[in-house]
Amino acid sequence: MTDFARTRALFDIPEGMIYLDGNSLGPLPVAAKERVATMLADEWGKHLIKGWNAAGWMNQSRRIGDRVGKLIGAPEGTTIMGDTLSIKVYQALAAALDLNPGRQVVLSDSGNFPSDLYMAQGLIGSLGRGLELKVVEPEAVADAIDETVAVLMLTEVDYRTGRLHDMKALTAKAHAAGALTVWDLAHSAGALPVDLIGAGADFAVGCTYKYLNGGPGAPAFIYVAPKHLETARPALSGWLGHEAPFAFDLDYRAGAGIDRMRVGTPPVIALTVLDAALDAWEGVSMADVRATSIALCDLFIAEVEKRCPDLVLATTRDGERRGSQVSFRHPQGYAIMQALIARNVIGDFRAPDAIRFGFTPLYIGEKDVLGAAAILETIMKDRLWDRPEYHRKAAVT
């Protein structure tokens, strides 16, 4: 395993906490505190409206999009920040459907994050041209790709189990059948090497508050393949995606390239935090991150299986076929996770019965893995999950 002591020092993690939930929300980058303070006092406070030019706010979405692009195999000018992942899913799917008229099926799987499916349902309901969202089991996706499919819309890493789709093979199969692809990289960007150009992906979207540590509700990104950049119709045609936003014309004309995927005024403060967070990736090899992540996950699986025979592994043992997380199933999963959290081992629970642990080499190492497994062992052996306080449901799980 590569030693990530240097990057670990870049994050604020409370003393004694074993944080295995960076796949939900990354920790605070130390640098973000000063960066935001400076942005508030010296940019907003001193420049006020002039900050759009003087502090480079207007260019932030594009510049940071290129920084994210470097982590996902996207060339400059193909990735842009803004909005939320759900909104970016809508944009990507709407554009993909427009580029492939005459077909009626959006194909997805039950391992896709529900919000992606919901946004597709809303879009299909709006379009009202007889489109159908077809949701199959993850294992059945490849066989379900046929010439009825307009768009294949998948999340690369299953948020529940960590199962990793073969983006390149599925994209090739989709293309062979005449379908376009929309890939959600929520659990991929910053978790493993992604090669959008190599895979031939048409559209990709993702969030930045997980492995990219951008903070709660950090802006999302959208990628459009070079071949679609000038033809993709922006369904969410906001003024900052206009060819000339400050001409204030009454008619929309899509801007050049990826800029057309901008919608409204960009979230400058949130982008400033994200920009600081992305500094942690400078000089980091994604291959090293991946190798370490696989080793940490392997170690966790081995330790938990040895110590906790009642937990059923929900994630593949094949490191190459999973993302950077491990899940176990147990009927008392919710209470087990509450007992872990009470002991400062932070993972999360995904209904109906999965406890989920994310492994994020930038700031998590072997010692954390062994510590978490030992505490989990105590909880299982002593049935500590059987206390009433661990069965109270929180608003957010």
151 to 180: interface string for its own copies, x by CB under 8 A? ------------------------------
Binding range to its own copies, per CB under 8 A, among 1-9, 142-150, 250-258, 310-318: 250-258
Alpha-carbon gap, residue 348 to 346, rounded angstroms: 7
Report the alpha-carbon angle 191-272-7, nearest 5.
40
Binding range to its own copies, per CB under 8 A, among 18-26, 65-73, 141-149, 320-328: 18-26
Alpha-carbon gap, residue 145 to 167, rounded angstroms: 14
Q: How far is CA 297 from CA 2, 207, 329, 374, 390, in A?
A: 14, 22, 16, 15, 26
Residue 239: other Cβ atoms inside 10 A: 17
Strand order in the sheet with 325-329: 312-313, 325-329, 354-358, 348-350
Give the residue carrying structure tokens 């920040």.
Answer: 81
Distance of closest approach, residue 50 Cβ to its own copies, in angstroms: 7
Q: Is 306 marked active-site?
A: no
Of 67, 69, 71, 83, the one binding its own copies by CB under 8 A: 83
- Cβ proximity to its own copies: between 128 and 309 the closer is 128
118 to 147: interface string for its own copies, x by CB under 8 A? xx-xxx-xxxxx-----x------------
**Contacts of residue 276, Cβ cutoff 8 Å, sequence gap at least 6:** 29, 31, 32, 35, 36
Q: Is 209 marked active-site?
A: yes
Catalytic hit among 209, 223, 334, 363? 209
Which of these, 397, 365, 389, 396, lies nearest to 18 by C-alpha position?
A: 365
Catalytic hit among 300, 348, 356, 357? 356
45 binds its own copies (CB under 8 A): yes
367 binds its own copies (CB under 8 A): no
One-letter amino acid at 141 equals: V
Please report which helix (H) or strand (E) contains residue 8, including its range: helix 5-8
Q: Is 356 marked active-site?
A: yes
Judged by DSSP in three states, 254 sits in strand
Give the residue carrying structure tokens 């529900």.
Answer: 114
- Cβ proximity to its own copies: between 269 and 295 the closer is 269
103 binds its own copies (CB under 8 A): no
Catalytic hit among 4, 11, 113, 363? 113
278 binds its own copies (CB under 8 A): no
- Cβ proximity to its own copies: between 237 and 316 the closer is 237
Please report which helix (H) or strand (E) contains residue 203, including its range: strand 203-206
Q: Is 350 marked active-site?
A: no
Report the alpha-carbon angle 161-164-170, nearest 5.
135
Q: Is 184 marked active-site?
A: yes
- Cβ proximity to its own copies: between 330 and 350 the closer is 350
176 to 215: interface string for its own copies, x by CB under 8 A? -------------------------------x-x-----x
368 binds its own copies (CB under 8 A): no
Alpha-carbon gap, residue 158 to 165, rounded angstroms: 8
Binding range to its own copies, per CB under 8 A, among 50-58, 62-70, 304-312, 359-367: 50-58
Which residues belong to the active site?
113, 184, 209-210, 356
